[in-house]
Amino acid sequence: MDEQYLLKEIASLKEKLREKEDNLAKLRFEKQILQGHGLNNGEIARYSRQILLPEIGVKGQLKLKNSSVLVVGVGGLGCPSALYLAGSGVGHIGIVDYDDIEITNLQRQLLFSSLDIGKSKVIAAKEILERLNDNIKITPYKLQIQSSNALEIIQHYDVILDATDNVATRYLLNDACVISGKPLISGSALQFEGQLTVYNYAGPCYRCIFPKPPPPEAVNNCSDSGVLGAVVGTIGVMQALQTIKVILKLPGILSGRLLIFDGMDMTFKNLKLRSKNQDCEVCGRNPTIQTLIDYEEFCGSKANDKHQNLKILTANERISVNEYNELSHTPLKPFILIDIRSNQEYEMCHLKNSINIPFSTLSSKGCLDALKKEINKNETDISNVYVLCRRGNDSQKAVRALKNYFTNSDIQVKDIIGGLHAWSHDIDPEFPIY
Amino acid sequence: MWMEMSENTTGKSARVKILFFAKARELSGFKESEIVVPVLISFIELKDQVIEIFNLETIRDIVILAVNEEFVEPDAFLKLTEKDEIAVIPPLSGGTSFS
């Protein structure tokens, strides 16, 4: 039995199973006995452990049942927040994500499992969340939220969660929430750090605190910098907690405060932020932003994490993986292959005969001098330096940096087009991709 | 912290603790350090010094500063003591990858 056949069979069995589960849920639902206050016996039992809390009670549970929350981004933040919102009985949860599930998501996006790879995130999440709690409604939006659709989607929800991973969408959601008068529960996490706050809830908005977007070179993301699942999960769970408190109008909401979590030191800092900025461009006294703008232009960066191919070098400053493969087997001239990824990435996988000089250290004078020594100490003159990275973007920047250094020499510096991804795709399918 | 300038503190300096978060940590290479600054200092002067000393030029426009866990308004004038703790905080968020 081959893999494709098995996958197909599993999918069809799952569909059958789901049909039967739906029927069972319907049957059970029809048998439910509704009490005078509006909760049925199943709901009373299911939510009893939180209804017991004096701050919640039956009244609070009904508020949750009648509330609607939009989770934008079903990733490391959105998975845990949606799980806890669904568990607590928020009656209607919208989930927005344009993306499909990849194997690199599974370490932190715990709604998904190995067999979901390739499926739509929102569809897979809807199935899991409905299975967790069949009393609630889940609305999936498989799309990228943007200026043309944000206000229309947001208007159906009471509270919005920013569980996204990019700056452009953060400004978009902020402005859309200010314009629509909705609280925005904003979370973010990278490496071992997380930040959490509530915007536009009788306090400042994102623009009051950060009026200017970061320059593209100041932005890191999970696929480059890494993130630990439990760290981003901690923030996601607390986003759900903030949301529940906003719905229940409980005190102690992180409006005008920024919670900073350091998962390495295991410390939380609770920073007092400014009050609303009267001159804020979107929520101030005389707002200049009254409709949504072009946020990718405003931020100078894309609103998704899809990788782009930079074109910095000319064709004769680059070689293909095929060309490199050939010349590495029969080198006419001795060469050096520099892999400029981080030490951790190099440790995961690398090409034979490559040396590792991370891009962050490459342009330092000490490093360049050492490299020159290495080249000069060889008896045979090295005249070619090849630079390699994961996808062939940073390698171009590195070639520029090296060329500025080796100005008066015969050394040819080129990068390998498409990097190790191209190597795995075109030359060695057994080479790992991450 | 927000005090008017008084005669006896003019010209004095203080050694204060400084904490870095997110991108500021990566650029400065520190989680925590110390900085000697005039006791009486405006937000703008303090920010300029922090950015120059700790190599934070790329995030100049996006960092917020906090003194003792309280946001410093851009037009503030500070009176610092050795017990004070400054935090340098850029927003934390992902973005398009170019690697």
What is the predicted pLDDT for the residue at B99?
A: 35
| pLDDT tens digits, B67-79 | 999 999 999 999 9
Nearest to A190 among B59, B94, B99 (CB): B94
Write out the catalytic residue numbers of A. 222, 389
pLDDT, averaged across chain A: 93
- Burial B21-31, CB ≥16 within 10 A → b, else e: bbbbbbbbeee
Query: What is the pLDDT averaged over residues A15-24?
Result: 93
Higher pLDDT among residues A220 and B52, named by residue? B52
Measure the CA–CA gap between A48 and A42, rounded to whole angstroms: 10
For the stretch B19-55, pLDDT in tens is 999 999 999 999 999 999 999 999 999 999 999 999 9
pLDDT tens by residue, A349-382: 999 989 999 998 887 888 888 888 877 776 667 7
Give the span between the Cα atoms of A80 and A74, in whole angstroms: 9
What angle do helix axes A365-377 and A394-405 make, rounded to 10 degrees? 70
CB-based contact, B76 to chain A, within 8 Å:
no
CB atoms within 10 A of CB A340: 29
Chain B residues in contact with A213 by the CB 8 A cut-off are: 62
Chain A CB within 8 Å of residue B91 CB: yes
pLDDT at position A305 over 80 = no
pLDDT reading at A122 higher than 50: yes
DSSP B92: -
Q: Domains along chain B?
A: 13-89 (3.10.20.30)
DSSP string of A208-277, one letter each residue:
HH--SPPPGGG---HHHH-B-HHHHHHHHHHHHHHHHHHHTT-S---BTEEEEEETTTTEEEEEE-----
Chain-chain contact of A220 with B90 (C-beta, under 8 angstroms): no
A293 burial type by CB count under 10 A (0-12 exposed, 13-18 middle, 19+ buried): middle
Instruction: Tell me the average pLDDT across A324-347.
Output: 90
Whether the CB-CB separation of A232 and B94 falls below 8 Å is answered with no
| Helix ranges restricted to H, chain B | 22-28, 43-53
Cross-chain CB nearest to A308 (options B61, B91, B98): B98
**B99–A218: do the CB atoms touch at under 8 Å?**
no
Residue A114 has pLDDT above 50, yes or no: yes
> Percent of chain A scored above 90 by pLDDT?
80
For residue A120, give the DSSP letter. Answer: B
pLDDT in tens, A59-87: 999 999 999 999 999 999 999 999 999 99
> Pairing mode, if any, of strands A257-262 and A193-199?
antiparallel
Residue B3 has pLDDT above 60, yes or no: no
pLDDT exceeds cutoff 90 at B95: no
A223–chain B nearest CA distance, Å: 8
Chain B residue with minimal CA distance to A341? B99
pLDDT on residue A363: 75
Residue of chain B minimizing CA distance to A207: B62
Amino acid B23: pLDDT: 92
A263 closest CA partner among B49, B61, B92: B92
Q: Which amino acid appears at position B42 of this protein?
A: S
pLDDT computed for residue B96 by the predictor: 42
Dihedral, CA of residue A205, residue A206, residue A210 and residue A213, to nearest 10: -140
- Give residue A307's pLDDT: 66
Pick A409 or A42 by higher pLDDT: A42
pLDDT of residue B5: 47
What whole-number percentage of chain A has pLDDT above 70?
A: 97
| Predicted pLDDT of residue A361 | 87
Residue whose entry in the numeric block shows the structure tokens 């509270």: A159
Contact B96 A190 (CB under 8 A): no
What is residue A48's three-state secondary structure?
helix
So what's the pLDDT on residue A375?
Answer: 78
Residue-wise pLDDT tens digits, A221-245 = 777 789 999 999 999 999 999 999 9
Residue A222, sorted as left (phi over 0), alpha (psi -120 to 50) or beta, turns out to be alpha
pTM: 0.90
Q: Which of A126, A127, A232 is nearest to A189 (CA)?
A: A232
pLDDT at position A379: 61
Nearest CA in chain B to A163: B93
ipTM of the complex: 0.87
Q: Which residues of A are annotated as a binding site?
A: 76, 97, 104-108, 121, 165-166, 205, 208, 280, 283
Contacts of B60 (CB under 8 A, 6+ apart): B47, B51
